[in-house]
Structure 1
Amino acid sequence: MTFSIAARCSETGQFGVAVSSSSMAVGARCPWVLSGVGAVSSQNITLPALGPEILAALDQGATVSGALDDALSRDAHCQYRQVTVIGRDGHTAIFSGSQTLGVHHAVQGKACVAAGNMLAGKQVIVAMVSAFEKSQGSLADRLILAMEAGLAEGGEAGPVHSAALKVVGDQSWPLVDLRVDWADAAPLARLNDLWRAWQPQAQDYLTRALDPRQAPGYGVPGDE
């Protein structure tokens, strides 16, 4: 039902997750990021609580494998989960329970980890990691490129209907938090359009938050 990639940018220290699913509103349940700590994608038969639990453990100094194992040990239904984790050192961990749906796969790459279930084939995940490792540019650009590479290899076995992109930098809130909660077709293309619209405005919104005195004009009536 879902394929995703979580990654860390070695240049900026940003963490991010990109994900797409046949289910509605995948961005509300699966991608989790925490500034300076890591990123998690919790998918398959999703337990959203796993994301915050794992990130909290990483923040307290746990290893990625230790944080993942500890969270799963408290989930009586862990065999239904598929989870990927990347931490501040770029180390990754993966879990695909025995009840993971359909063709499923997970691959740990350089500063990234990708996984999916109900896939057209395992090559989907291999292609995502390869595309990310070969790419350059912003973390958001690279995550979307990886997702597009997976889609080109078949993506899910059936049509996908939602997609999301979440990236965190130095602040406690995400720099990028974009979602397509439902589309009859091509949610990744719509997500890419949202990112292209948001990208040139992102720094302005960050400036407004950190120092409104330096903010550019708002472009609304009464703004001087």
Structure 2
Amino acid sequence: MTFSIVGYDPTTGDLGVAVASKFLAVGSVVSWAQAEAGAIATQSYANMSFGPNGLALLAQGQSAEATLDQLLAADEGREQRQVGVVDAQGNAATWTGNACHGWAGGRIGAGYAAQGNILTGADVVDAMATAFEQTQGELAERLLAALLAGDQAGGDQRGRQSAALYVARKGGAYGGVLDRYIDLRVDDHQNPVPELGRLLGLHRFYLTPPKTDDLLLIDAELAREIQTMLQHFGYYQGELSGDYDAVTHAALQAYGGVENLEERLVSATHIDRQVLNYLREHFVR
């Protein structure tokens, strides 16, 4: 009772799943991904064991198709299942059992598999595939674009309730330890897919490190402005010298720690444009 897409990005190695459904907390059931292994969407009377068991097979070097074949061969309820799999080489496979509720079906392409059941029609999956193929940017944005396209094409014929986006990247998690790069869920909402897009925007601000082009050199004028704002917020007690010294830097780091901006404070000589805008907006208020 769901539509989903699994995808792979050959540039970054990202692997992920985007899913939406008239089902409470659909991401807690459908979405499975592991860096350098693959991604799996298991739905339609979902056999959740397909997630960990399938990722184990993919991590051993099995292809998406071979993994799917092994999962289905061991499942007596296979004709009720729907599954999408993509491996770390971009090979994709999808399965829709004969007992899935209509409209049900899937489509594969380079680096992705899109599928759904109890949909308004085949155009939902077609729209997802087209959006994924035509959207530029990171895998998360491409998966979200596909989900939005499927939602706008009609989505789940029963209505809307939840959506989720999960992307695995080696060392991509907060703190750089695990592979949980993006893990966002809208568990119960009247319009969950657009809400998921809003959350991804927040994730990009708070939890995605800035690119080099986003960093501004802190000259004397900018240093004085930063000191003024940090003094106003109570983090800097020194002179407004225009010297971005260790004390000023420490004050900015302290402010960022409280405001959850630490992932964007990556330089001792530069400041991220978005952090600077955040400071200015809150200073004005």
Q: How does 1:24-63 map to 2 (within 5 A)?
A: 24-63=24-63
Counterpart in the other structure of 1:8: 8
Deviation of 1:203 after TM superposition, in Å, equals 3.0
Deviation of 1:202 after TM superposition, in Å, equals 1.7
Deviation of 1:173 after TM superposition, in Å, equals 3.0
Q: How does 1:3-152 map to 2 (within 5 A)?
A: 3-152=3-152
Letter in 2 for 1:219: V
Larger radius of gyration: 2
CA distance in 2, matches of 1:146, 1:70: 28
CA distance in 2, matches of 1:109, 1:61: 20
Q: CA offsets per residue over residues 157-216 of structure 1, 9 Å max, x none?
A: 121100000001113331110001111x11111111111111112235xxxxxxxxxxx5
Structure with the bigger percentage of helix: 2
Q: 1:187 aligns with which of 192, 199, 213?
A: 192
CA distance in 1, matches of 2:91, 2:118: 26
**What is the TM-score of this pair, normalised by structure 2?**
0.71
Counterpart in the other structure of 1:175: 181
Q: Are the aligned partners of 2:64 and 2:91 in contact in 1 as well (CA < 8 Å)?
A: yes
CA distance in 1, matches of 2:36, 2:181: 13
The alignment partner of 1:218 has SS state of helix
Counterpart in the other structure of 1:201: 206
CA distance in 2, matches of 1:200, 1:74: 43
Deviation of 1:149 after TM superposition, in Å, equals 0.8
Q: Are the aligned partners of 2:20 and 2:162 in contact in 1 as well (CA < 8 Å)?
A: yes
Q: CA offsets per residue over residues 126-178 of structure 1, 9 Å max, x none?
A: 11011110110121111111111111211111211000000011133311100
Q: Are the aligned partners of 2:17 and 2:33 in contact in 1 as well (CA < 8 Å)?
A: yes
Q: Are the aligned partners of 2:92 and 2:110 in contact in 1 as well (CA < 8 Å)?
A: no
CA distance in 1, matches of 2:192, 2:199: 10
The alignment partner of 2:202 has SS state of helix
Counterpart in the other structure of 1:218: 257
Letter in 1 for 2:258: G
Structure 2 stretches lacking a partner, 5+ long: 172-177, 210-252, 263-285
CA distance in 2, matches of 1:166, 1:65: 21
- The structure showing larger relative contact order (alpha-carbon pairs under 8 Å, at least 6 residues apart) is 1
CA distance in 1, matches of 2:20, 2:146: 12
CA distance in 1, matches of 2:203, 2:193: 15
Letter in 2 for 1:160: R
Q: Are the aligned partners of 2:37 and 2:61 in contact in 1 as well (CA < 8 Å)?
A: no
The alignment partner of 1:62 has SS state of coil
The alignment partner of 2:207 has SS state of helix
Letter in 1 for 2:203: W
**What is the TM-score of this pair, normalised by structure 1?**
0.90
Structure with the bigger percentage of strand: 1
CA distance in 1, matches of 2:105, 2:194: 23
Deviation of 1:98 after TM superposition, in Å, equals 1.3
